[in-house]
Amino acid sequence: MRTSMTTLRGRRLGAVAAVAGLALLALTACSAGSSATSGTAGSATSGDITWWGWTPDKANAEKLIAAFTKEYPNIKVEFVSKPIDSYDSVLSPAITSSEGPDVFNVAPGSANGGVQTFEAGAVDLTSAVEGALGADWKTKLAPAGVDGLSVDNKLVGLSAGAVYSGGLWINQDLFDKYNLTPPTTLAEWKDVCATLTANGLGCFVQGAGQWAFDMDTFEAIADNVEPGLYVKASKGEVPWTDPRFATAMGLWKSLFDDGIMQEGAVGLQQYPDANNAFMAGKYAMVMMGTWYTQYAVKDSMVAAMEAAGVGSPTPITLTPIPFPDLAGTGSTGSMFGDADYGLAVSARSTQQAAATTFALWLTTSEAGQQAVANTLNDIPALKGVTPQWDQIDLVNPDKQKAALQSYTEAAGAATEPRFATVSADLNTAFRDALIGVASGDKTVTQALEGLDAVQTAQK
C-alpha cells in the first residue's frame, strides 16, 4: 500500500525544514561539495524560484508548474529552458552566483548536466527525500533515479522520471497512406525507404552530427548483435575490439551505405534539424526514445509542428516500433535508459526551502508524479504511478493507445543504462568513432581501437 498523500505532504514539509536548517549552517561554514554564501534559506511554502533545464519543453513545464501551484499557491516557479548543447557552458558560471537558478536539471553519466560535473553546486537531498518517503525511500523510487544521480553517497538530484531509447518512431499516417508495414529487418527497412523515396518523401532521419543520438542507434545495434554487450564493454568487461562490435559497427556503416540514413546526415543535429524535419512530415521515421511519447498528445504535437515551421498543422499520428533486426539474431526489443533529469537545489540559492518543496513535490509525491506521467515525457520515478490514459488527449487513440501502453510498460521494465556507465572520455571517443566511420574518415578497426584505448586508459 502506498503512503497517503496527507502523510507524504507532512513528511515533505518536515524534510524541507530539516534541509533549510542544514542549508543555514552551510551558509556560515562551507561543507564538502558545497559553496557557502550569505543570506537565508527562505520559506518552505512561499517564494519565487527559478528552474533551469533543457527539458521538459515549454508546454509540459507549464503543465507541471500549474499542477504544483494548485497545492502551493504561494510559491511561484519560473522555468527557463536552455539549449541542450550549451547547457553545461551556461550553467557552470550561473551556479557559482546567487543570481543563478534555484533549481537546475542534472543527469546521470556523461550526458549534459552530468552529476559529476555539477554536484559541488547542489545541496545533498538525502535528508529531504528520507523525510518525504521514510527511511525505506530507496525502495519506493526507480533505482536509475537514485544511483545515477548520486555522487559519493550524496544525492545530487531527485529524478522526475526516466527516459529510454532503443526503438524508432514512425509517422503512422504516412505508413497507412502508402500501405507500409513497420520494418523488422534490414531488407524490409530498405524496401520501406524505396517506397517512400518513390513518393517524394524521406524515409529515416537522424542528426548524425549529434553523437549522443548516434550512441543510441549504435547501442540498439549492439544489443541486436548480443543483448547487454554494449553495457559490458562500457564497464570494461569486454573489449571494444571484440569481433561482435566489428559486426555492430559494420551495421552502423551500412545505414549510410544503403541509403537508410538521409544524405548529409553527419552535417545535421538531432535537435533541431532531424526533429524538425520529422515533425514537418518530410520523413516517416526517426530514432528517438520514450521522451517522444509526449508528442502523441494533441496539443504537444501541434506545438512541436508549429515550432518546426508548419502553419496550421494537422497533428501527426506518432507510434513507436522496435529497432529492426539488422543482425538477423532475433534479439530485438531491447531498451536502455537513465533518469531523464534530476532536480538539484542550488547551494547558492537564497530560496532553498521553497526550491526543495518544489523538487520533492515533483519527484516524490503521487500528485507530482502523476502530473509527470500524464505528460508522457518520462517514465515516473515513483513506483506504481502510470499514465491516466483515459484523461490524455491522444491524437489518434485507436492507433496509438495500445502501442503506447505496451511501449511504456516495456520501458519501465528495462534495466540497461544509456549513459550512466559511459565516462566523459568514452563519450567523446564515441563521437570520433561513430562520425568517423559514417563519414569514411575511419575504418571500423580504427574506430574500435580508439574506443578500446580510452576504455583501457580508465582502468
pLDDT single digits (tens) 177-236: 999 999 999 999 999 999 999 999 999 999 999 999 999 999 999 999 999 999 999 999
8 Å CB contact between 354 and 46: yes
By CB atoms closer than 10 A (0-12, 13-18, 19+), residue 87 is: buried
Q: Is the pLDDT of residue 152 over 70?
A: yes
Where in the sequence of the chain do the CATH 3.40.190.10 domains occur? Answer: 5-162+339-386, 167-334+396-457
**Low-confidence winner among 48-52, 111-115, 327-331 (lowest mean pLDDT):** 111-115
Q: What is residue 5's predicted lDDT score, i.e. its pLDDT?
A: 31
CA torsion, points 302, 305, 311, 315, in degrees to nearest 10?
A: -50
Q: What is residue 424's predicted lDDT score, i.e. its pLDDT?
A: 85
Banded model confidence at residue 59, pLDDT cuts 50, 70, 90: confident
In the chain, what percentage of residues exceed pLDDT 90? 83
Distance CA(222)–CA(399), nearest Å, equals 30
Average pLDDT rounded to a whole number, residues 314-318: 98
Mean pLDDT (the chain, rounded): 90
For the stretch 234-287, pLDDT in tens is: 999 999 999 999 999 999 999 999 999 999 999 999 999 999 999 999 999 999
Banded model confidence at residue 51, pLDDT cuts 50, 70, 90: very high
Amino acid (1-letter code) at residue 265: A
Instruction: Say which CATH class 5-162+339-386 falls into.
Output: alpha beta
Q: Is the pLDDT of residue 342 over 50?
A: yes
Q: What is residue 144's predicted lDDT score, i.e. its pLDDT?
A: 81
Q: What is residue 15's predicted lDDT score, i.e. its pLDDT?
A: 40
Residue (of 94, 97, 128, 133) closest to 22 by Cα position? 128
The residue with cell 529487418 is 185
Instruction: Say which CATH class 167-334+396-457 falls into.
Output: alpha beta
**Low-confidence winner among 55-64, 109-118, 386-395 (lowest mean pLDDT):** 109-118
The pair phi, psi for residue 77, each rounded to 5°, is: -115, 125
Sign of the alpha-carbon torsion through 341, 346, 352, 354: negative
Task: List the grid coordinates of 48.
Answer: 519565487
Q: Is the pLDDT of residue 327 over 80?
A: yes
